[in-house]
Structure 1
């Protein structure tokens, strides 16, 4: 498997789905069908924080992801976070996500607590955790969306 890329985006829109689609576009993954998996980084696969995804394949294909996402009607502020910790010896690692109508610092705290709890469940040699939190604000009458997504490799045909 190739690299897992961490991407992020935020947007506002006239509907909840339009705001979410805009946040995916901001992250560069709006043209894929996202398939969520739990939170294990396969052994030996590097994680790279890139912000915006490069071309990961043709539009409409399946893209495997771990996703932190927040969406809400304004007036509000939403935050989505994703954290990851890689093995120090080419073994597996972990992703954890958190989101909500919360302060970005609170979302980061919850992500870090999740990573710590997940690490305590496993006997893996893990390094230092990394976290990214994305925030979006919307006025009354609009919607806000924020995403932080770990995209596993390239897209694959869905049919």
Structure 2
């Protein structure tokens, strides 16, 4: 069994590139996670996981991460991504992470992801203490991408 992450943060980024993959890479760099090896996870925040404003991780680190992203090569199109984390009232319980991406502005993406966190808690019968949300939008110039993420890491 792998160790359980003990820290999390929220990060967002946007970027432009000549190709969809390089635009996504630019968004990863802008979000501060472009030099890690991302291990995409689903949506459970481990018990007692502590929020930190920023994590410094070594280059190439294996980084468990939940994220939503979208990339477009339609100039003038608005794209957005949001990440939401629900913190449980009971610190020994687990939380939920929800992500959203679409063709809208950041505020709409943030509202959608927050409502998904509330619904996820309701479905599980968990009591919600707090919701942390971060969102970003971008108007595509040539080929643009946005990402909203919840990196999970271990105390060093």
TM-score bracket for this pair, using the shorter chain length: 0.7 to 0.9
What is the correspondence of 1:44-123 to structure 2 with a 5 Å cutoff? 44-48=48-52, 50=53, 53-59=54-60, 61-75=61-75, 76-90=77-91, 91-123=93-125
Q: What whole-Å deviation, never above 9, does each CA across 1:63-95 have from its counterpart, x for those lacking one? A: 100002111113111100001111122121111
TM-score (norm 1): 0.85
Unpaired runs of at least 5, structure 2: none
* Runs of 4+ residues over 4 Å off in structure 1: none
Show the counterpart of 1:127.
129
Distance 2:10 2:131 in 1: 13
Distance 2:124 2:147 in 1: 27
Kept after mapping to 1: 8 A contact 2:118/2:128: no
Distance 2:108 2:49 in 1: 29
Kept after mapping to 1: 8 A contact 2:9/2:55: no
TM-score (norm 2): 0.87
Unpaired runs of at least 5, structure 1: 155-159
Secondary structure of 2:88 counterpart: coil
